[in-house]
A and B are shown apart, each in its own frame.
Chain A
Amino acid sequence: DTGVSQDPRHKITKRGQNVTFRCDPISEHNRLYWYRQTLGQGPEFLTYFQNEAQLEKSRLLSDRFSAERPKGSFSTLEIQRTEQGDSAMYLCASSRLQGNGYTFGSGTRLTVV
């Protein structure tokens, strides 16, 4: 297990299409976080899971966004009816315990054209 994996690395989609990203955390990490980063900004929190339970969601996570972690392992982030404003880097991170060290994935860069 070499770290947090995100797939795909890059995604270009047309406005209005649906996209889904995947994150595979470090296997023994029970917490998984999704962040969005736009150009020139620090990452913004979207949501986080503890095992399969989604415990917190940001107001940034509109109705078009949904995240799942069905078996408490990998997670998916789906964006429906994409808009140009959704263009960003989507980062996933995992941790074992709060404040006990986080590992980030390399991110999925989404471009909506």
Chain B
Amino acid sequence: KNEVEQSPQNLTAQEGEFITINCSYSVGISALHWLQQHPGGGIVSLFMLSSGKKKHGRLIATINIQEKHSSLHITASHPRDSAVYICAVNANTGNQFYFGTGTSLTVIP
């Protein structure tokens, strides 16, 4: 069993739709990260959360520490949002990430 589970694995949306990607984890964490990976492979860090909610433009990330669950929301989705979104956690024992397998998002014009 993976320490980090994401759903869905694949998601296709029409431009303008509201999108939610979910992440559940099974280990104690010091922080949770949402990452965006484009087809070329480069990864960009979107959010780092340890509690509550963060917003950046059309992106919103929330975390519920008690339920060990986080969500990434994209409002008014756009084709340029098409990418793989990866959830990763810093376990609070040790110094590494555990990664989800990613959610591949395609936004159709």
Interface residues of A (CB under 8 A from B): 31, 33, 35, 37, 40-45, 48, 55-56, 89, 91, 93, 98-99, 101-107, 109
Contact = CB atoms under 8 A, between A and B. Distances in A.
Given A33-B96, A37-B41, 19 more contacts: A33-B97, A41-B102, A42-B4, A42-B100, A43-B88, A43-B97, A43-B99, A45-B97, A56-B94, A56-B95, A56-B96, A89-B41, A93-B43, A98-B30, A99-B31, A104-B43, A106-B41, A106-B42, A107-B41
A55 B95 contact: yes
B35 A104 contact: yes
B31 to A, nearest CB: 4
B101 A41 contact: yes
Contacts of B4: 42
A46 to B, nearest CB: 9
Determine chain A's interface SS by DSSP, over half rule. strand
A109 B90 CA distance: 25
Given A48-B95, A98-B90, A99-B31, A42 B101 contact: yes
B22 interface: no
A110 to B, nearest CB: 11
A105 B90 contact: no
A112 to B, nearest CB: 17
Interface of B: 4, 30-31, 33, 35, 40-45, 48, 50, 86, 88, 90, 94-97, 99-102
Contact of A42 (B30, B96, B102): B102
Q: Report whether over half of chain B's contact residues are helix, strand or loop; otherwise say mixed.
A: strand
A101 B50 CA distance: 11
Contact of B96 (A48, A103, A106, A107): A48
Contacts of B42: 104-107
B45 A102 contact: yes
Given A43-B99, A45-B97, A56-B96, A101 B90 contact: no
